[in-house]
Amino acid sequence: MIEKIKSISKVQWLAVALIVIGVAIMIPKAMGMVEFYKESRYAAEYDFSAGNLSPDLIRPWMSIRYIAVAYAVPQIYLYDAVGIEPHPETSMLSLNRLNQQMELGQVDGQPALMKTVREAILAYRADPVVTGLLEQEAHDWMTVLYISNSTGVPVETIFAGIGLPVEGNAHKPLGFLSETTNYSGGTKALVAAVQKVLDAQGVEPSNP
Amino acid sequence: MSIDISSLVLNWMATYGSPMVAGLLYLGGLGLPLPGTLLVIASGAFIRQSMLDAVSTPILGYLGTIAGDSSLYAIGFFASGWIERRFGQTAAWKSAHALFERRGGIAIFLTRWLLTAIAFPITLIAGSSGYRFRKFFTFVLLGEFTWFAIYGGLGYAFGSQWELISDFISDFSGFALGAVVFGGGIYLLVKFGKKPTSNPDPIQE
């Protein structure tokens, strides 16, 4: 056995080392990709488009904007709850990244910010507050319910203004809604129609 | 509040827009340790969310990246005299030079978008080994276009879930690098594994 090991050349040792290093790199990365597959199916698995989501479904990769739209809670309200100055640029950062920036640590093995956001969603549902839209205007990634909750304009008023039925559409982002309803003029026209309703209702730009 | 470099550059690009994206990607192309792939994915997502301009961001970002790669090539080119004096007469250098001339194109192309972790040394080698700039530039154009199209497109498709796809691409890129290392080991084992005594040890050459 020792003789056999001694007979292994340097290039063979190098080959074995490369194979071991390659496998050591690939295994954790493959596990990460499997995890991605699970997470990418998360929204579909729990039917986020149906609305009325449990706050327990919040995940570390979700951004404030994503949560705000999925749970129809105004972004400004969430920002106030987590204690961050509201800015469009931070609305796209994941909870995990924000949690690291704020050095909040972990609670029950999860970023502490997740707990704060969950509590904020429950508090909002118990006592909804109109804050205005952080972006000051309608965008294609917003749902009608999110716009309604942020501006105080009733969902029914918005749907009446854009000429679409409320049923099954309130939780769909405007871009997706225009596709599923073949809205005349496409997403841009739908966003403009929603903005027209908001303007007609005298919605003032928020001042975060 | 502590700021890691990724969060910092994300905030900069969202605040200052497409010129900042171009500047950061230029510095990344020069070899500064900036999260280039993350920036491209985030750019796609930020464009989708109307936070960055859909026309100027990809154009300026692409130009910035290519300018960064070309500048690093130039650094390698102008430093080649020193490298040549130091290593030029060795068999290993001559062999590597010949190999890069034959297979360098695919290495340049793949390191622009898939094996990005080793883009820096490959670009320096291209410049310092006298690899023709026209060929280098062609492969850079193709590779960086692939990088922008795939990763920027994924960021755009995933929108506000872009951090999820960012983790996946990081894993995928790492997996691909691991596969290359693993494949290299298998190649050596197959080529030199059967005749350890009759074949001179290439390491000692």
Residues A61-109 pLDDT 10s: 899 999 999 999 999 999 999 998 887 778 888 899 899 888 999 998 9
pLDDT at B164: 84
Task: Please check whether residue B55 lies inside any domain of the structure.
Answer: yes
CB contact under 8 A, A8 and B196: yes
Task: Please check whether residue A102 lies inside any domain of the structure.
Answer: yes
Residues 6+ apart with CB under 8 A from B184: A18, A22
pLDDT at B138: 97
- Nearest Cα of chain B lies from the Cα of A156 at a distance, in angstroms, of 25
pLDDT tens-digit profile of B158-172? 888 888 888 888 899
Q: Would you say B13 and B52 are in contact if contact means Cβ atoms under 8 Å apart?
A: yes
Last residue of a domain, one of A100, A126, A152: A126
Task: Please check whether residue A132 lies inside any domain of the structure.
Answer: no
Three-state secondary-structure class, residue A131: coil
Task: Please check whether residue B92 lies inside any domain of the structure.
Answer: yes
- What's the average model confidence in pLDDT over A153-177? 94
Number of domains within chain A: 2
- Which range marks the domain in which residue A98 is found? 52-126
Number of domains within chain B: 1
Task: Please check whether residue B200 lies inside any domain of the structure.
Answer: no
Residues 6+ apart with CB under 8 A from B148: B40, B58, B61, B62, B65
Task: Please check whether residue B203 lies inside any domain of the structure.
Answer: no
Task: Please check whether residue A22 lies inside any domain of the structure.
Answer: no
pLDDT at A206: 62
Last residue of a domain, one of A79, A96, A126: A126
> Which stretches of chain B score pLDDT less than 50?
1-2, 196-198, 202-205
pLDDT at B151: 94
- Which range marks the domain in which residue B151 is found? 5-194
Nearest CB neighbour to A9, from listed B7, B171, B196: B196
CB contact under 8 A, B171 and A29: yes
A82, A148: one domain:
no
Phi, psi of A162 (to 5 degrees): -100, -5
Task: Please check whether residue A23 lies inside any domain of the structure.
Answer: no
B181 touches A: beta carbon within 8 Å: yes
CB contact under 8 A, B4 and A101: yes
